Structure 1
């Protein structure tokens, strides 16, 4: 199946890591590709320490794109999509997560058509999850499950900073 976690609320990546944990617990190999991201996050350190069946690879520069992507962002994302397309086709992983791939399409680091082509060519036993704000309508139409995280209230708006172990 193809799952999409989108919306402006907190929890899309966290939900995808939860599913990765569940898949690993069921004995599946998991590939977790992070587009746009390039920093060390607590969940990655935990996975590297305790869950060798989950492979995390980042295709970002160490900062999140806020305004205009730089050439390095395009190169990293396109390289990442090529890697992940091969991984999706291989059948080596029961679950492949394309974290923040919606953001990558939003910033036009790669096209929606390129993303959908990679997803459609996946091995029949490979579950795919795509996360990020701004899920394009074509991706939503192609998905078997779509969950929207909607922000109702967030402490960021009260001036609270991101906290290790909670936001990163």
Structure 2
């Protein structure tokens, strides 16, 4: 089976959820999935769900337990760069059918690793591996590399009315 590059981007909600839904479908078909979450190091409800599917889905976070709001710290940069290198080795190992780089677009925006680093990663993708990259601010060069692009557009969001992230829905 030929693998493609999918990108889920935009300011709307649902980029990670779409990638996780794809992982769920792939696991149901017996495929092996590796999910790398950049920028994230906190506990999210999806981590609990994925533990149940650990025979087919592995998730590792390459971030600290806080959200980057301004300039990243050296530790953020180190974790992301080491993570990208580790995931490249994992992707080329032949053990996984799908690799998801969750929040990789925003990692390039915060310069945790460069767009060139991410493009080099894309070029290492074996022909039979499906690669999914998520988050807002996808660089035009990543868009040019992609085979499928979905842009999530925020039309209306209850965050605008002060609703905080709800456990099981947004966190």
Instruction: Sort the TM-score into its range (normalised by shorter chain).
Output: over 0.9
Q: Which residue of 2 aligns with 1:47?
A: 50
SS of 1:63 mapped into structure 2: coil
Q: 1:58 aligns with which of 41, 57, 61?
A: 61
Q: 2:81 aligns with which of 57, 78, 81?
A: 78
- TM-score normalised by the chain length of structure 1: 0.98
SS of 1:90 mapped into structure 2: coil
Q: Is the 8 A contact 1:24 1:51 kept in 2?
A: no
Q: Which moved more, 1:115-124 or 1:44-53?
A: 44-53
CA distance in 2 between partners of 1:54 and 1:47 (Å): 7
- Runs of 4+ residues over 3 Å off in structure 1: none
CA distance in 1 between partners of 2:135 and 2:37 (Å): 10
Q: Are 2:105 and 1:102 equivalent residues in the alignment? A: yes
Coordinate RMSD, CA, aligned: 0.8
CA distance in 2 between partners of 1:4 and 1:50 (Å): 23
Q: Could you tell me how far 1:20 is from its partner in structure 2?
A: 0.3
Give deviations 1:46-97, integer Å, cap 9, x for gaps. Answer: 1102442100000000112111100110000001100111112222111100
CA distance in 1 between partners of 2:15 and 2:166 (Å): 17
Give unpaired runs (5+ residues) of structure 2.
none
